Amino acid sequence: MRLDIDRYPSSAEGLALLQLPAADVAESWQGPYLAEGVPKDPWGRPFIYREPQTPDGRPAVGTLGSDGSAGGTGTARDIFVGGADAGIR
């Protein structure tokens, strides 16, 4: 998607931009980018998306684990992948 619209989604747009275009990118958007809707995390909650904080940064996508709260251990541990600059700690 970033190659089509020349940017990553904002935090407000989130992963929904994979399914539906925002008005400002409708002409260049080539989606939908998923065959079905945006999946939920293993505990049935929406994944968390954070946009990059720097122009050359990468977004982060993750889950707050089984308890849905920041922190935790075991299955309650937060899991994020992507950019270290995306504000996830």
| pTM, to two decimals | 0.81
Closest to 61 in 3D by CA, of 35, 87, 36: 87
Q: 27-45 pLDDT, tens per residue?
A: 999 989 999 999 999 999 9
CA 74, 16, 59 angle in degrees (round to 5)?
Answer: 60
Mean per-residue pLDDT over the chain, rounded: 89
Confidence tier at 77 by pLDDT (50, 70, 90): very high
| Domains of the chain by residue range | 1-38, 40-89
C-beta of residue 16 within 8 angstroms of C-beta of residue 38: yes
